[in-house]
Chain A
């Protein structure tokens, strides 16, 4: 590649010198023959500029691509991501050829067929065969691209496998909150936006028993490697968009309309750190739908780890109810016992704390009726 750039640069240099020499001649010519009627003003140097521009563009784009390449995202760390990456570079290859050919012809013709006194243009209004050919060729190429793209798209957007690890991610101004279905029932509980308050940021509905072991995290998302992960995506206030650049994942978060995206990540954070030789590397989640002042700062760390450490991490997380025991008051009476089952990790050492807590809930949230009947 470097040699190509070198050769192109050399050609560029030679042409530049030729053009400068030529231009000087032309300029002299202009001075000497004021009556150079016929030749339109500045036609010669503009013609030469096209060739100059062409070579300059070739050199500059090749060189800049080689320089910029190192800063592109590394190879995708998801299965579908590598597929779309391949598709992208394949399409890009075809398009680059088309781009170079058409631009070359355009500039070359501009230079070659510039005005010459006494010349007459060729009267050539149409050629149906030619037109047919260059209607069909793009059509065929397009068909190929559409077909490959469509195959990839249908696979990516197909239904998630049944055994997918489900994680909910919710966008708000300005950050993400993730919710996990918990280690016991492995099901996300219901939610309702009207239940949102300062603590219950996701509007978790505690009258649904599946929500008892749900846990949330406002700063980190953990997912297991080599296992399908289904993101259930929603937004609390305005549009957001979940973007995980290294996994080639993007899906809008829409208030009132849950969306989803599933994928298989196949490189752990540690593997990626080793691969890149960068011990500080982290997967990141960003927002790509303008959402207000803090749009550019909705970073969330994503940790991809092997399944064992992932399970371990999940088990260590405090459930929402454990973090905010006050919310026990919102649990309907008939489910209270079940809800309390999820509380014990708070240790048996203080069997008294639980009722103590729930009394404080009574006082605080006025849910007295339900808890009293429980006792």
Chain B
């Protein structure tokens, strides 16, 4: 019943109501102000970056797993970075590690995930014609694009790209004479990241404004899907923390080029005592991690939001503890700002500070645990449909739990002494932040692909892709904990210099093989994605029988998203399998007055509010597509 009454039939008329003035190619696909096109631009750019970023990890995994391998076959690609005996250059190894980190964290999981889905879903799920400022939104993408071009071009420098680790700690990053990666590569890194931050801020302001101001009639905050809550909180996190990274980067630029001493003090390098005194390298770390830690959640929260939505839809059950989910999102977001120094327990900062940060860090486990339990309970007595999106969401929860738990070890400053900067850390954050967020990205793409392109991705290929990736991730990162417990330090070109790290050669080789296979498995996704854009099965109106508003828009939404009036919203987005209802879902835009058979007592009282909701029409925004 709901299906007919929810404006779903409008697709037929969609064509007639289209705008008359067709935009030209450039305005429509390149310099577009339409949030859907911008989202796709972010997605495609993110996918390209992820291929580059993961390919880099494959190269250094070969180096770590098979240190004696002859890499001459990579010469056509890497050129001078492979020496005459077929060995990878140690400087380039560091560059690879650095660029892998930078690309994956910022360009793939921040821009690719948040940029794609915040842009795509915010207007569609809250019922808005577009973002608050289409122009700023376009600008945001093109700043990101410029940042991408600069970062990409740094890969081709004679001296190589930045190579001080993705955290670019000075003085190594500040002194060109300390490392070749700190020369032009670092300059371009800083310029690129500065532009990237501008892009994030423009995007973030837009997301926040849109969520606050452009919700459709009746879309109160307590009726927002959890995706929107997650994007909203993520945008706030970014808006507060990214400027601090910008300041850190600017001061570093000053130190590098204008002779200031913010981060430099008492340095003797290459036979020369530098004049700088009074600066502190630790200052940079504080500034960096003030962004760096929230950044973890900027990456993860959208994935958790996406997962909440997908798990509820495909369990055919309301998400368990909607309010607790929001509260834990807010709790995690707030705490993420006051835990940054747990990355710095052994930098020599005041031990008392270490105690404080340990305490605050371990509190984060509580809201995180609530989330994990709530997801699990949502599955309980559900009627689970294993779409690829659902599989990736369940996988995300598993990774979030497994990887999150080791965070409790690392957040404990006494235990961090031994484990800091070992592979234990690498294993921890790759599972909980890297893989979990990437799973959120995959889940989102599989779930909203029909809305983005009007076609379906191949289901079976998606499921196979999931199992290969899921197994692959565990095979790569689970054994990595062992290597970390054995004390192997991060960012080592090879482990043969030390006796204590001379073991585990087999395990390192195993991890490398698993990593390469997992990388290859991603081509299943790439093929599925690009093939389905053009040749996929045509999507039905509401393929997952979902409640949220985007599925009421035409299958291929045009400019302005809805034809005619934007549907008002009367209920929360999780009325799945409601007792008494004929179908197992009731979309948000179905009024309570039409579902007397399934209304709960307090919901009957809301029927009176329906007229009020419908009467709202601020600035005429809900009536006409602009």
Contact = CB atoms under 8 A, between A and B. Distances in A.
Interface stretch (A4-12, A17-25, A124-132, A365-373): A124-132
B376 A296 contact: no
A73 B500 contact: yes
B172 A196 contact: no
A3 interface: no
A124 B412 contact: no
A121 B584 contact: yes
B366 A135 contact: yes
24 contacts: A99-B405, A103-B398, A103-B401, A106-B376, A109-B379, A109-B380, A125-B318, A134-B373, A138-B369, A142-B362, A142-B363, A146-B362, A150-B358, A193-B268, A238-B178, A241-B421, A243-B421, A248-B417, A256-B278, A257-B265, A260-B348, A286-B501, A289-B169, A296-B90
A208 interface: no
A190 interface: no
B467 interface: yes
A42 B460 contact: yes
A293 B419 CA distance: 23
Which 8 pairs show the lowest CB-CB distances between chains A and B? A256-B265, A259-B348, A157-B351, A152-B414, A149-B412, A245-B487, A71-B503, A46-B386
A198 B111 CA distance: 48
Interface in B370-400: 370, 372-377, 379-387, 391, 394, 397-398
B492 A296 contact: yes
Contact of B380 (A113, A245, A290): A113
Interface residues of A, number: 108
A243 B320 contact: no
A355 interface: no
A61 to B, nearest CB: 6
Contacts of B268: 193-194, 196, 203, 236-237
A249 B478 CA distance: 25
Q: Which residue among A122, A173, A282 has the maximum number of chain B CB atoms within 10 Å of its CB?
A: A122
B365 A142 contact: yes
Contacts of B351: 153-154, 157-158
A40 B387 CA distance: 8
Interface stretch (B24-32, B184-192, B279-287, B613-621): B279-287
Interface residues of B, number: 119
Contact of B576 (A106, A109, A123, A193): A123
A110 interface: yes
Interface of B: 90-91, 94, 164-165, 169-172, 175, 178-179, 264-269, 271, 273, 277-282, 315-324, 346-348, 351, 354-355, 358-359, 362-363, 365-366, 369-370, 372-377, 379-387, 391, 394, 397-398, 401-402, 405-406, 408-409, 412-415, 417-422, 459-460, 463, 467, 470-471, 474, 478-479, 482, 485-487, 489-495, 497-501, 503-504, 507, 574, 576-579, 584
Given A64-B482, A145-B408, 14 more contacts: A42-B460, A46-B463, A71-B507, A106-B394, A121-B382, A121-B584, A123-B317, A123-B318, A124-B381, A134-B370, A146-B362, A153-B414, A194-B273, A299-B498
Interface stretch (A86-94, A327-335, A342-350): A86-94
B386 to A, nearest CB: 4
A110 B577 contact: no
Contact of A91 (B348, B409, B421, B489): B409
Contacts, number: 344
A114 interface: yes
Interface in A21-79: 40-43, 46-47, 49-50, 53, 57, 61, 64-65, 68, 71-73
A109 to B, nearest CB: 4
Interface in A124-176: 124-127, 130-131, 134-135, 138-139, 142, 145-146, 149-150, 152-154, 156-158, 173
Interface of A: 40-43, 46-47, 49-50, 53, 57, 61, 64-65, 68, 71-73, 81, 83-84, 87-88, 91-92, 95, 98-99, 102-103, 105-107, 109-110, 113-116, 119-127, 130-131, 134-135, 138-139, 142, 145-146, 149-150, 152-154, 156-158, 173, 193-194, 196, 198, 203, 233, 236-239, 241, 243, 245-246, 248-252, 254-260, 280-282, 284, 286-297, 299
B500 A256 contact: no
A98 to B, nearest CB: 6
B402 to A, nearest CB: 6
Contacts of A198: 271
Contacts of A249: 417
A250 B460 CA distance: 49
Contacts of A158: 351
B410 to A, nearest CB: 10
Contacts of A152: 414
Contact of B376 (A43, A105, A203, A299): A105
